[in-house]
């Protein structure tokens, strides 16, 4: 038996064979080719065929799930690959400039895209990003750079150097028993997703290739993994897992019960989700609502811009499943570690301090408007709130609200029904904490994002595993900020919650309740344990 240590992101046990996922090396785009133009053309044709195949599959999936109107975009992309002008321009570059196929496609793609972007007609302008997207897809195939989806043929514990948030969200949950990564921080979005999806996981594990296929036990309680466990260790861990399941069954008794302390104080315990599939987990744990729906994962899960209709269906599915319970949809929080190729966000020196979240939405309003329209349309089917991330100034909030109002007016004019919805913001920066009074005056609720609030208060990159031991969400500065926000919110009749990971920290639950927090939104697996604790507290007793 071999034992390796890591850092746990979810306390739980997974038992199964290990499957090592190897990322392909990323080659550079070469400009000049040593092959003949005819050979390069053949490479191009093969890549186009593959792209065509993927587009056809996407078209069929979209057609089955979302109807003709939404599927049409993939047909347009397929047609672009057959456009004679596009093909002639590539052929010419291969012949006259001895270019590689990937270089020619990327140059011609850029040129055609710029031509579309300069046209007067809005429809034609919108095709600029389609051309970029199609040519990017072909270049990706030619260079092997396209992001791979990880496929498991049988249930296994996945082992990888690193996983991006978009790879994590695309994992097949019926097959991934757990995962181990060499890199990655326990505060990253990949780790948060593992917690949300209830998948035991460890980061910082120094694995080697010989592990592939071996039986292992991932012990998220003791931060380690046993490879080829001894029969004694295996049965000990099987026993522990059985106990976990029994505990879960015991907690089920809390379902449907009031969530009050012994002295009668009520607190809302909501769940955080990243994908429509997570709703199942929310229903199982009987959370009173969804306190944070990380909508950006819809974008990360897609190969291309989700249309308004696709987004509407996605939100509607969650809202209907919650049957009138609150669903707080956080608007797009893309950027930093959450990247989707088709957004084409520039590489930044300080991505956490960069172009992300509301900053993207307020500068690319068409994306924001499309999302808000989809949320508003879906709001007619239940109890919905909108929450803006990373707000640091009053003007940002005013602008976001004005755009939301504009979308409401548009929908009214079109005769489309919308529900009554609450508006809130995430408090994730010291700036938002300090001006919490002014912000609270403009909204219905404040939800404290302690993951980012810790990062920005302590000046510690939450993605950097070397800093994990310094990243302390329980730092007195963070706790005092939470108290300040609760007081400011209550002065303006706002309810105040926590939706960062700290909300699930049971050693602080009593402190949070005494501070006056109204809501805690946590990973679905943390909901019932938290409810059990809350029901055992007596706040009338002096601390």
Asked whether position 500 contacts ligand PEP by CB under 6 A, the answer is: yes
Q: Rounded to the nearest whole angstrom, what is the least distance from the CB of residue 310 to Mg ion in the complex?
A: 24
In the complex with ligand PEP, which residue's Cβ is closer, 217 or 397? Answer: 397
Q: Rounded to the nearest whole angstrom, what is the least distance from the CB of residue 426 to Mg ion in the complex?
A: 6
Which of 138, 499, 508, 527 is in the footprint of ligand PEP by CB under 6 A? 499
The residue annotated as part of the active site, out of 19, 48, 77, 189, is 189
Measured CA distances, 487 to 77, 475, 491, 541 (Å): 53, 19, 6, 22
In the complex with ligand PEP, which residue's Cβ is closer, 87 or 479? Answer: 479
Judge whether 499 counts as a catalytic residue.
yes
147 class by beta-carbon count within 10 Å (0-12 exposed, 13-18 middle, 19+ buried): middle
Note whether 196 and 278 are within 8 A (CB).
yes
The residue annotated as part of the active site, out of 285, 361, 407, 499, is 499
In the complex with Mg ion, which residue's Cβ is closer, 111 or 359? Answer: 359
Q: Rounded to the nearest whole angstrom, what is the least distance from the CB of residue 443 to ligand PEP in the complex?
A: 17
Instruction: Give helix 476-491 / helix 450-458 axis angle, nearest 10°.
Output: 120
Q: Rounded to the nearest whole angstrom, what is the least distance from the CB of residue 240 to ligand PEP in the complex?
A: 29
Measured CA distances, 114 to 118, 133, 390, 443, 515 (Å): 6, 13, 32, 41, 55
Q: Cα 41 to chain center, whole Å?
A: 39
CA 335/CA 464 separation, integer angstroms: 16
Applying CB under 5 A, the residues found at the interface with Mg ion are: 428, 449, 452
Q: Quick one: which H or E segment has residue 178?
A: strand 176-181
Binding mask of the shown chain, residues 175 to 194, with x at each position contacting ligand PEP by CB under 6 A = -----------------x--
Asked whether position 286 contacts ligand PEP by CB under 6 A, the answer is: no
Which of 77, 127, 294, 377 is in the footprint of ligand PEP by CB under 6 A? 294
Which of 451, 457, 463, 509 is in the footprint of ligand PEP by CB under 6 A? 451
Residue 450 binding: pick among Mg ion, ligand PEP, none (C-beta 5-8 Å cut-off by kind): ligand PEP
SS3 176: strand
Asked whether position 102 contacts ligand PEP by CB under 6 A, the answer is: no
Binding mask of the shown chain, residues 409 to 448, with x at each position contacting ligand PEP by CB under 6 A = -------------------x--------------------
Order across the sheet with 215-219: list the strands. 2-5, 224-227, 215-219, 13-21, 156-160, 176-181, 201-203, 7-10
Q: Rounded to the nearest whole angstrom, what is the least distance from the CB of residue 450 to ligand PEP in the complex?
A: 5
Q: Rounded to the nearest whole angstrom, what is the least distance from the CB of residue 453 to ligand PEP in the complex?
A: 6
Asked whether position 356 contacts ligand PEP by CB under 6 A, the answer is: no
Which of 450, 463, 509, 525 is in the footprint of ligand PEP by CB under 6 A? 450
Can you spell out the DSSP letters for 380-395? TTSEEEEEESS--SHH
Q: Rounded to the nearest whole angstrom, what is the least distance from the CB of residue 166 to ligand PEP in the complex?
A: 14
Measured CA distances, 10 to 89, 203, 268 (Å): 53, 10, 23
Measured CA distances, 473 to 274, 500, 502, 514 (Å): 22, 10, 7, 18
Closest C-alpha to 195, from 437, 523, 538: 523
Residue 499 binding: pick among Mg ion, ligand PEP, none (C-beta 5-8 Å cut-off by kind): ligand PEP
In the complex with ligand PEP, which residue's Cβ is closer, 20 or 192? Answer: 192
Closest C-alpha to 353, from 500, 448, 450, 460: 460
Active site residues: 189, 499
Tell me which residues touch ligand PEP (CB under 6 A). Answer: 192, 292, 294, 333, 428, 449-452, 499-500
């Amino acid at each position: 038996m071999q034992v390796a240590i890591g850092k746990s992101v979810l306390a739980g046990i997974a038992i199964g064979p290990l499957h090592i996922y190897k990322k392909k090396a990323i080659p550079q785009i070469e400009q000049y080719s040593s092959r003949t133009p005819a050979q390069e053309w053949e490479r191009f044709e093969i890549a186009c065929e593959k792209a065509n195949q993927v587009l056809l599959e996407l078209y069929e999936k979209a057609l089955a799930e979302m109807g003709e109107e939404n599927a049409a975009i993939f047909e347009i992309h397929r047609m672009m690959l057959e456009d004679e002008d596009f093909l002639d321009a590539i052929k010419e570059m291969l012949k006259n400039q001895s270019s590689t196929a990937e270089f020619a496609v990327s140059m011609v793609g850029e040129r055609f895209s710029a031509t579309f972007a300069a046209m007067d007609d809005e429809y034609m302008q919108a095709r600029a990003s389609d051309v970029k997207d199609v040519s990017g897809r072909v270049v990706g195939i030619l260079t092997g750079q396209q992001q791979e989806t990880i496929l498991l043929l049988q249930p296994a514990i996945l082992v990888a150097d690193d996983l991006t948030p978009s790879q994590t969200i695309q994992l097949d949950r019926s097959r991934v028993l757990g995962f181990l990564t060499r890199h990655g921080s326990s505060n990253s979005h990949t780790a948060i997703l593992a917690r949300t999806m209830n998948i035991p996981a460890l980061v910082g594990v120094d694995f080697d290739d010989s592990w592939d296929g071996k039986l292992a036990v991932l012990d998220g309680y003791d931060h380690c993994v046993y490879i080829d466990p001894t029969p004694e260790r295996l049965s000990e861990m099987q026993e522990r897992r059985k106990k976990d399941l029994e505990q879960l069954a015991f907690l089920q008794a809390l379902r449907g019960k009031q969530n009050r302390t012994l002295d009668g104080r009520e607190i809302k315990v909501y769940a955080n989700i990243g994908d429509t599939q997570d709703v199942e987990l929310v229903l199982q744990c009987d959370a009173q609502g969804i306190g944070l729906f990380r909508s950006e994962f819809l974008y990360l899960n897609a190969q291309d811009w989700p249309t308004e209709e696709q987004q509407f269906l996605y939100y509607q599915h969650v809202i209907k499943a919650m049957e009138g319970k609150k669903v707080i949809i956080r608007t797009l929080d893309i950027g930093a570690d959450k990247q989707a190729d088709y957004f084409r966000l520039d590489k930044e020196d300080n991505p956490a301090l960069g172009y992300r979240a509301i900053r993207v939405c307020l500068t690319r309003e068409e994306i924001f408007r499309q999302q808000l329209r989809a949320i508003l349309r879906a709001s007619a089917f239940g109890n919905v709130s909108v929450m803006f991330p990373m707000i640091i100034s009053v003007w940002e909030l005013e602008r976001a609200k004005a755009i939301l109002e504009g979308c409401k007016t548009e929908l009214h004019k079109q005769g489309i029904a919308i529900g009554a919805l609450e508006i809130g913001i995430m408090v994730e920066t010291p700036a938002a904490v300090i001006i919490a009074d002014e912000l609270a005056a403009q909204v219905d609720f404040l939800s404290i994002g302690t993951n980012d609030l810790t990062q920005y208060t302590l000046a510690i990159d939450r993605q950097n595993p070397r800093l994990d031991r310094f990243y302390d969400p329980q730092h007195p500065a963070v706790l005092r900020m939470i108290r300040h926000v609760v007081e400011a919110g209550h002065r303006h009749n706002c309810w105040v919650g926590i939706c960062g990971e700290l909300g699930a920290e049971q050693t602080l639950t009593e402190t949070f309740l005494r501070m006056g927090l109204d809501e805690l939104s946590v990973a679905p697996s943390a909901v019932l344990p938290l409810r059990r604790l809350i029901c055992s507290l007596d706040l009338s007793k002096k601390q």
